[in-house]
Amino acid sequence: MNIILLGPPGAGKGTQAGLLVEHHGMRQLSTGDMLRAAVKAQTPVGLEAKAVMERGELVSDAIVSALIDDELAAMGADVGAIFDGYPRTEAQAMSLDAILAKHDRALDFVIELMVDEEALVDRVEGRYTCASCGEGYHDRHKQPAVDGVCDKCGGTEFKRRPDDNAETVRTRMAEYRAKTAPILPFYEARGIVQRVDGMAPIEDVTAAIEKVLASA
């Protein structure tokens, strides 16, 4: 199975992708995570992407599509893919079609996480992750069972993204509205878009996504 999780920043794409990986052994392909790794490693891609990401703008289509192509090439054919944060533009949606065809894969669902805009600022401003394993947390909505200790790996260091501030979030939301939301009709025409209420508690969102996957 190959699915796209679509939604604005903070909608819950990464959280739900992580749970699908745990439950179904699918693979999460997050262009945001790949780009952050490139920035950290100071690769040519990272050096080019850093300032763009800090402004909340979109990195070039060619760069992100190449990242996705490389990841799929390295994956077993029987492992399902969850596209998280990709595609984000019409050009990327076209590239994804070509990349999937090349790797003999077909898109099963585009799952749109519906969230209202004010909640997104709160989601993004309260977001942090475990520095060791990357598990996602939130100041109010998802705290570790033991304060300051990661549930998953026991790590005690956490980090926040430089672009998770109210001002940059507004730019990222504007980018979503202008460039990403317009790709929905492209997939709607194929009858593969499913909408899920992203304002529900995390486990309810997961249940709704599971229901979609079971309908395949």
Least distance in angstroms from the C-beta of 200 to Zn ion: 25
- Give residue for tokens 């990464």: 14
Residue 7: name the closest of 173, 189, 125 by CA.
173
Q: Which stretch binds ligand ADP (CB under 6 A): 19-27, 28-36, 96-104, 145-153?
A: 28-36
Residue 89: name the closest of 116, 57, 117 by CA.
57
Least distance in angstroms from the C-beta of 216 to Zn ion: 32
Among 99, 205, 209, 213, binds ligand ADP (CB under 6 A): 205
Asked if residue 150 binds ligand ADP (CB under 6 A), the reply is: no
Q: Yes or no: say if 132 and 158 are a contact pair by the CB < 8 Å rule.
A: no
Among 3, 4, 6, 7, binds ligand ADP (CB under 6 A): 7
Binding-site partner at residue 152 among Zn ion, ligand ADP, none, CB < 5 to 8 Å by type: Zn ion
Helix axes 61-73, 31-40, angle to 10 degrees: 100
Asked if residue 24 binds ligand ADP (CB under 6 A), the reply is: no
CB count within 10 Å of CB 161 equals 15
Which string of x and - marks every residue 37-66 that binds ligand ADP (by CB under 6 A)?
---------------xx--xxxx----x--
Q: Which stretch binds ligand ADP (CB under 6 A): 37-45, 98-106, 132-140, 185-193?
A: 132-140
Query: Which residues form the interface with Zn ion (CB under 5 A)?
Result: 130, 132-133, 135, 150, 152-153, 155
Binding-site partner at residue 209 among ligand ADP, Zn ion, none, CB < 5 to 8 Å by type: none
Rounded distance, CA 155 to CA 42, Å?
25
Residue 3 or 130: the one with the smaller Cβ distance to Zn ion is: 130
Distance separating the N- and C-terminal Cα atoms of the chain = 9
Check whether the bond before 201 is cis (ω within 30° of 0). no
Asked if residue 206 binds ligand ADP (CB under 6 A), the reply is: no
Task: State which H helix or E strand residue 110 sits in.
Answer: strand 109-114
Distance of CA 26 to the CA centre of its chain: 14
Rounded distance, CA 134 to CA 1, Å?
24
Q: Which residues bind ligand ADP (CB under 6 A)?
A: 7, 9-15, 31-32, 35, 52-53, 56-59, 64, 85-86, 88, 92, 123, 126-127, 136-138, 141-142, 163, 172, 201-202, 205
